[in-house]
Amino acid sequence: MNRRVNQASLPDPSGHFDIFGGRYVPEALVAALDQLDAEFTRANADPDFWAELNRLRREYSGRPTPLTEVPRFAAHCGRARVLLKREDLNHTGSHKINNVLGQALLTKRMGKTRVIAETGAGQHGVATATAAALMGLECRVYMGKVDTDRQALNVARMQLLGAEVVAVESGSQTLKDAMNEAMRDWVATVDDTHYLIGTVAGAHPFPKIVREFQRVISTEIAEQMTERFGQLPDAVCACVGGGSNALGTFADFIDTPQVALYGFEAGGDGVETGRHAASIQGGSVGVLHGMRTYVLQDADGQTMDSHSISAGLDYPGVGPEHAWLAATGRADYEAVTDTEAMAAFQLLCRTEGIMPAIESAHALAGVMRLGQRLAVEQPDATPLIVACLSGRGDKDVATAISYFGLPGHPDLYTGGQA
């Protein structure tokens, strides 16, 4: 459709990105969404708010995060020079803290005392529990039963931080069901509770607010690239589940057409198998969790189960701004399979000594594919590609042990036992 819309003006005041986004929610939540939108607008214009958030980013979270060039990994990416935006080096181990600190400050400004959150891999839940501990807020995290089983380490981390973790046993028992349960909680507790959504999804104003708190990723990339290379990157890449690290990586570049934007969705066993979580590549336009966007749905509009080795990308929808960026052609979205992602996971470990989250490994696999493709299309060019390394892989070690069939015992024994 290629219509020209200035991204800075989106979403429109009613929360739409053209046909996407909006508010498909129970009336009971509208007052809280309006309150949140008004508070964000006030805070956004308040230098004291940003001073406090920037102080926390610097002194608590550890920003700015480094931009690390990875030449041994890039040897597998055609002729590209590859740099990783190290969101994995944030406190709590992922980009999720960027959004959580902002929303927790908003919670305090609204005079609310309790936060609830949904989490898939547990990264957002851990970040929320962390901010709640820091700011003295009560915290409950909803997590699908399938995910509490496969991410037991993060469940324990949240509990150690003082949060209550609820395993959601309805539906597919994954991220989407955790969101449903968090919504049900919020409908009943909206007076004193803020629903701290972890991604650029849900009803307006969440997609806008989360984007603005994640925007720092692209702002820093632009500064670091300009300082080091005297130019912006040729392309930026990120994995896309709900899409918060990707939108943070894209935000400052959306109105700069010379920077190509690539989002890599979870292709699971392959989009053609139907067992995947690639809502843009393999879904259709519908309504889910308060927004109009691309959804994995059957002929009747029932949400279909998504499949991905990565709990954090295992979601049958996507943020509405991504739907808009895809529909307008401003960003390109491709699917990366479990197999490709795990190969990239292992490659980054072995070539650079960096263990990525499996979510982020989807972006790495995408960079390998993109770099190799560009080497064919533009054989004389040396493109500069930045990929967002959204999280670290410690939480995924159990998955990796089982995927790679690691023996779980040392490789050799010295002998010498009595």
Partner 1 sequence: MSVTSSAAAISAARASGRAALIGYLPVGFPSVAGSLAALSTLCGADGSSEGVDLVEIGMPYSDPVMDGPVIQRAGTRALARGVRTTDVFAAVEAVRAAGKPAVVMTYWNLVDRYGVDAFARDLANAGGSGLITPDLIPDEAGEWLAASDAYGLDRVFLVSPSSTDERISMTAQAARGWLYATAVMGVTGTRSASSDAAPKLVERIRSLAPGLPIGVGLGVSNGDQAAEIGRFADAVIVGSALIKPLLVADDAGTPEDLSGLRTVVADLVQGVRR
Beta bridge partners of 144: 168
The label of the residue with tokens 């009803």 reads 203
Residue 172 annotated in active site: no
Q: Minimal distance in Å, beta carbon 75 to partner 1?
A: 45
Q: Minimal distance in Å, beta carbon 335 to partner 1?
A: 22
Q: 332 with 373: CB under 8 angstroms?
A: no
Choose which of 62, 162, 171, 270 interacts with partner 1 (CB under 8 A): 171
Residues in the chain: 418
Nearest to partner 1 of 249, 306 (CB atom): 306
Nearest to partner 1 of 103, 306 (CB atom): 306
Size of the site for partner 1 (CB under 8 A): 36
Using the contact rule CB under 8 A, the part of the chain among 5-13, 16-24, 218-226, 256-264 near partner 1 is 16-24
Give me 416's structure tokens: 């010498």
Q: Is 183 in the site for partner 1 (CB under 8 A)?
A: yes
Q: Minimal distance in Å, beta carbon 295 to partner 1?
A: 7
Residue 118 annotated in active site: yes
Burial tier of 20 (Cβ tally within 10 Å: 0-12, 13-18, 19+): buried
Nearest to partner 1 of 87, 177 (CB atom): 177
Using the contact rule CB under 8 A, the part of the chain among 55-63, 77-85, 168-176, 386-394 near partner 1 is 168-176
The whole-angstrom separation of Cα 330 and Cα 84 is 22
Give me 121's structure tokens: 């891999």
Q: Is 303 in the site for partner 1 (CB under 8 A)?
A: yes
Nearest to partner 1 of 22, 102 (CB atom): 22
Residue list 102-131, contact with partner 1 (CB under 8 A):
none
Count other Cβ atoms within 10 Å, centred on residue 370: 24
Nearest to partner 1 of 29, 217 (CB atom): 29
Of 176, 218, 390, 395, the catalytic one is 390
The label of the residue with tokens 């992602």 reads 341
Residue 265 annotated in active site: no
Segment holding 285, helix H or strand E = strand 284-288
Using the contact rule CB under 8 A, the part of the chain among 43-51, 96-104, 169-177, 388-396 near partner 1 is 169-177
Q: Minimal distance in Å, beta carbon 19 to partner 1?
A: 11
Instruction: Write the interaction track for partner 1 spanning residues 352-381; mark x where CB under 8 A is met and - where it is not.
Output: ------------------------------
Nearest to partner 1 of 16, 369 (CB atom): 16
- Smallest Cα–Cα separation from 294: which of 313, 280, 278, 308? 280
Q: Minimal distance in Å, beta carbon 292 to partner 1?
A: 8
Nearest to partner 1 of 23, 362 (CB atom): 23
Q: 155 with 126: CB under 8 angstroms?
A: no
Burial tier of 300 (Cβ tally within 10 Å: 0-12, 13-18, 19+): exposed
Residue list 20-49, contact with partner 1 (CB under 8 A):
22-32
Choose which of 189, 339, 346, 351 interacts with partner 1 (CB under 8 A): 189
Of 96, 112, 176, 208, the catalytic one is 96
Give me 365's structure tokens: 């696999």
Nearest to partner 1 of 119, 360 (CB atom): 119
Of 118, 212, 321, 340, the catalytic one is 118
In 299-354, which ranges are E strands? 331-337
CA distances from 402 to 275, 360, 392, 398, 409 (A): 20, 19, 18, 6, 13
Q: Minimal distance in Å, beta carbon 291 to partner 1?
A: 10
The whole-angstrom separation of Cα 180 and Cα 189 is 14
Q: Minimal distance in Å, beta carbon 288 to partner 1?
A: 7
Residue list 257-296, contact with partner 1 (CB under 8 A):
286-290, 295
The whole-angstrom separation of Cα 384 and Cα 288 is 36
Q: 121 with 312: CB under 8 angstroms?
A: yes
DSSP for 336-355? EEHHHHHHHHHHHHHHHS--
Q: 186 with 195: CB under 8 angstroms?
A: yes
The whole-angstrom separation of Cα 390 and Cα 330 is 22
The whole-angstrom separation of Cα 179 and Cα 7 is 27
Give me 321's structure tokens: 């701004």
Q: Minimal distance in Å, beta carbon 60 to partner 1?
A: 33
- The residues of the shown chain that bind partner 1, judged by CB under 8 A, are 14, 22-32, 170-171, 176-177, 180, 183-184, 187-191, 286-290, 295, 297, 299-303
Query: Catalytic residues, which ones?
Result: 96, 118, 390
